[in-house]
Structure 1
Amino acid sequence: MNVKETLTSREFLRLADFLSSNGYRLGPKIGEGTYSSVRIAERTRDGEILAVKMINKRNAKKKYVTKFLPRELEISTLVNHPNIIFTHDVLYQGESVYIMMDYAGKGDLLQLINTCGSLSEEDAKRMFREMTEAVKYLHDLGITHRDLKCENILIMRDKRVTVSDFGFSRLYLDQQRNAVMCQTYCGSRAYASPELLRGLPYDPRTNDIWSLGVILFIMICGKMPFDDRNIKELLKKQVSEGISIPDTVKERISSRCLELIHQILEPNAKSRIKIWNILQSDWLKT
């Protein structure tokens, strides 16, 4: 359940004063997360429009405050890639944290699909290439996202897509730079891999790749590949039955694209296509 922003007039004025003293002018609310809300902000020195993610630690669970929030702050300020939302500044005021980020002027991928339906193959190819390059960049840095979904793919004014929201992200390499398996159940189950849903230790990189496959399916087909209302049925569909591409989609989408979707949504994590092989696939190279 989302935590609703319940600022009193006095609290809002104090917040506006705090941001103003740090060089930002506070604007209207544009979004809401589990433990946060998002507003427009203007950077007064140059008029740049940004988004400010506002987190009140008093409203959040202890595990989020002590474990996930520090990771999000560390990772969001570490990364720098044209297809990852850029963090300009992080401000602290008592129990509140304010993350100043790029503003996505065209909303997110879910909003686009809900409005327009499935995308053309060329648009899907461009956007999927960009988000896959972002995920490869993260993996090369030793970072996994663990919550890739359409809502976390933002669309900038120049139509460039950016990966956002590092609330479940983590560094997956130990001090010897060996990959560490994860056991945390996180993210949205509609985008979660079979290995994560089983509750077994999983490689977070292959889970990210599965999530990318779900996003690609949605872009191409305009709907979810699996019904996530029942986890047992979801797992059965993922592992035993696999995805079903509508005939109307097969008629307009190239075989190379459909082949890649099947390679990514491979239930056996060891057989699933690797991130670099996705970028070198016949579909993305043409």
Structure 2
Amino acid sequence: MKEKEKKIIEAGISLFARKGYSSTSIQEIVDACGISKGAFYLYFKSKEALLLAAFKYQFQTIQSKLDALPVKDLTPRETFIAQLVTQLEEVQKNKEFIIMQTREQTIPINSEVEEFVRKISAEIGSFYHKSLLNIYGTAIKRFIYDLNIILQGIVHSYLKLIIFDKTTIDLHKLAGFILNRMDDLAAGFTSSNEEPILTADCIEKLSKLYPEPSREDIVRQIKLSKDKIDNEDIIITLDVLEGEIERETPRSPVIQGMLGNIRDEPTLDDLTTMIEKFFKLK
């Protein structure tokens, strides 16, 4: 991202949060940046386009901070708590912008914004899904979707207190407290004879409402996977995969060959499935 583009986005976020989206004019944004309207339109075709860029910028900022966390030597529980605290901290920092979105109902403002919001929701669901499986293993697999949706509800409720009711909460304590409640629920689920409410078939139908991962999403997952793997041969395979996927025209036989080298690595099952689905290899 070019420095001027970043400056416009950050000015937009600040003004939208302070004045509201509807009340902020493009003139005010360019004045805050010290640029002309012509320079603004070189990067954004409209104020709506800037709003979408602001959403993406904030989400990518959170992703970057999560990716940079030193979690390689942490347990799954420690990793989840560190990641959840980071998420909560970043949301808390941007609460005025979030309040503006709710107050003015800027979501959805157009189909692109709506699709991106759905993408964020899918990313959060995927993050919780992987975290819960890493913590509780296959014992909870039957109820994983119910546990996931309950976790999302609990986090959302506490965020409402923090953002809208301006409640001061120790976020490290909150993250541990939430995970302890997941322990209680997981214990109850594993000893239960009930049928789950959310099944894989149900989630498969719901997933069709959400956008597919992009090529950039796949490359990001490859980079994250390399940081968690110690096997040099697998890291080399992932390097080749990353380079091939970043080509203007990726070659399917090369991708299939590299995927064959990592099929016996269970920690890469989700990545393999994502790549196969994106390139229609199955």
Structure with higher helix content: 2
TM over 0.5: no
Structure 1 length normalisation: TM-score?
0.30
More RCO (CA 8 Å, sep 6+) = 2
Structure 2 length normalisation: TM-score?
0.30
